[in-house]
Amino acid sequence: MLKSNLEIVKDPIKNRDSSNKYKVGMVSLGCDKNRVDSEIILGNMSNDYIITNNPKDADIILVNTCGFIESAKQESIDTILEMAEYKKTYRCKLLIATGCLTQRYGEELGKLIPEIDIMLGVNDYNKLNELITAFINEDKKSLEYVNYSDDFINEGKRILTTKQSTAYIRIAEGCNNFCTYCIIPKIRGKFRSRKLENIINEAKDLASQGVKEIILIAQDTTMYGTDIYGKQNLHELLRELSKIEEIKWIRLLYCYPEELYDELIDEIGNNNKVVKYIDIPIQHISNHVLKLMARKTTKEHIMDKIKMLRTRVPEIIIRTTFIVGFPQETQEDFEEITDFLEEFKLDKVGVFTYSQEEDTAAARMEGQIEEEIKKVREEKLMLTQKCVSEELNKLKIGKYYDILVEGYNGEYYHGRSFEMAPDIDGNIFFKNNDNANIEIGSFVKVKIIENMDYDLIGVVVNESCK
């Protein structure tokens, strides 16, 4: 919309929609766990405000920030500054910042960006409506809420921001691992599981809204239940979730390899609704670097767990992430990762360069690696994985998959098989030669006819899987 077409309102917070409600727009940054927070915030606000996808139409703009690594912090600051400009040009009169960045740098952020009117930490979202009311009625700014509670977990009604057929469910908050590169325990607090019945009720509510795939997330999903039930209880949670008729797929992310246990592996293998896919954040494979990272595992243990998964669940798809350029990482350490990928040929791999984060043990280590070396290692590792991915994708030609349909561009439909998590693992593009109507959010059977580096091309078939 051109500026000349805008109706500039001098005091827009006093000018409500015809329904007598203010409009709220949100920008959510960072990980899937942050996304869940954003959806809970919107759910809490939905009765009193109108949610809009266009910040130009919003009387109130909320930015849910990420503060995990330097690039995420900078994106959060840039986004807040961008939204602050909407106070000058469009309807916005109230700018709110929440999330990990405000939790970590609340005082500094308030001084740096005085345009922020309300700022909340990661566990203060229940105070939001009263603070907005106070601002509207009294012009009262509130920047002091930046402390987390180790006993609190954000729960409640959600407004989904994902595609209608898929939703994330956070099963725990916080982390007890204290890896030397990670600030999350200081931001989010100690590990604390949600009650099983609360998770089941949330999944039932999501299923009633048309969700067919639920993705379980936490900082460490394999530790679910240890704090409130005295044992690892993820396998029992999977079993209960699978009883919800409308749910077709249950996907697991963030399963630390050292905490994978027999009952969980058996449940993945035997439960038809649990997709044969697991995300295990390895981060490195050199014992030298794993020790520096304070990871609670070894190269040998990781390799044994991967072999075990592939033996007991032969069709399992394994995804992981690596950090390159960690302090004191030698060329030999790095080459251990490339050798590992070439030998084990993991299905899905993400690579990140190490970010030196203040208040972490790794930031104070000697032997920090130059950014140029980090980038070279990242590119080399991604090239190694690109070749692995292309090799694996070639083997899929001629195979049949049930595909969750997510979109149509006028020529090709696109969707995902059980082998693909949303946004990170690629897509399957396919044509419908029968010209029958295909609904977004439905499942169709597709035969793969062509491979790309990370995506696949197929065609709809009416045959059964072979």
Q: Could you state, in order of their start, the residue ranges of all structural domains in the chain? A: 23-145, 166-395, 399-460
Higher pLDDT, 13 or 86: 86
pLDDT above 80: residue 294: yes
pLDDT at 2: 22
| Alpha helices in 351-434, H assignment, sequence order | 371-394
At residue 9 the predicted structure's pLDDT band, cuts being 50, 70 and 90, is: very low
Task: Give the mean model confidence (pLDDT) for residues 275-284.
Answer: 97
Q: Is the dihedral of CA 153, 132, 75, 366 positive or negative?
A: negative
Task: Give the mean model confidence (pLDDT) for residues 166-173.
Answer: 96
Q: Is 92 marked as a binding-site residue?
A: no
pLDDT, tens digit, for every residue of 198-218?
A: 999 999 999 999 999 999 999
pLDDT, tens digit, for every residue of 433-451?
A: 766 678 899 999 999 999 9
pLDDT above 50: residue 464: no
- Token output for 236: 């029992």
Examine domains 166-395 and 399-460 and report if their fold is the same: no
pLDDT at 432: 81
Place domain 23-145 in its CATH homologous superfamily. Methylthiotransferase, N-terminal domain (3.40.50.12160)
Buried b (16+ CB within 10 A) or exposed e, 282-297: bbbbbbbbbebbebeb
Q: What is the largest CA-CA distance in the chain?
A: 67
At residue 152 the predicted structure's pLDDT band, cuts being 50, 70 and 90, is: confident
pLDDT at 5: 24
pLDDT at 10: 30
Task: Give the mean model confidence (pLDDT) for residues 84-88.
Answer: 91
- Where does 399-460 sit in CATH, by number? 2.40.50.140
pLDDT, tens digit, for every residue of 31-61?
A: 899 999 999 999 988 888 999 988 899 999 9
Task: Give the mean model confidence (pLDDT) for residues 167-176.
Answer: 95
- Host H or E run for residue 351: strand 348-353
At residue 296 the predicted structure's pLDDT band, cuts being 50, 70 and 90, is: very high
What separation in angstroms does the CA of 34 have from each of 37, 86, 187, 317?
A: 5, 23, 12, 25
pLDDT, tens digit, for every residue of 297-343?
A: 999 999 999 999 999 999 999 999 999 999 999 999 999 999 999 99
pTM over 0.85: yes
Buried b (16+ CB within 10 A) or exposed e, 49-71: bbbbeebebbbbbbbbbbbbbee
pLDDT at 145: 58
At residue 292 the predicted structure's pLDDT band, cuts being 50, 70 and 90, is: very high
pLDDT above 60: residue 463: no
Q: What top-level class would CATH report for the domain 166-395? A: alpha beta
pLDDT at 12: 38
| Alpha helices in 46-183, H assignment, sequence order | 70-89, 100-112, 128-138
Higher pLDDT, 120 or 303: 303
At residue 182 the predicted structure's pLDDT band, cuts being 50, 70 and 90, is: very high
Task: Give the mean model confidence (pLDDT) for residues 241-256.
Answer: 97
At residue 466 the predicted structure's pLDDT band, cuts being 50, 70 and 90, is: very low
Q: Is 182 marked as a binding-site residue?
A: yes
pLDDT at 214: 97
Asked whether 60 and 197 are in contact (CB, 8 A), the reply is no
The full DSSP string for 325-347 is: S-TT--HHHHHHHHHHHHHH--S
Q: Is 465 marked as a binding-site residue?
A: no
pLDDT at 162: 84
Determine what percent of the chain is predicted with pLDDT higher than 70. Answer: 92
Higher pLDDT, 13 or 120: 120
- Host H or E run for residue 235: helix 234-241
d(CA 302, CA 137): 57
Higher pLDDT, 225 or 133: 225
Q: Is 255 marked as a binding-site residue?
A: no
Based on DSSP, count helices (H) and strands (E) in the chain, helices before strands: 12, 19
pLDDT above 60: residue 169: yes
pLDDT at 7: 27
At residue 147 the predicted structure's pLDDT band, cuts being 50, 70 and 90, is: low
pLDDT at 116: 92
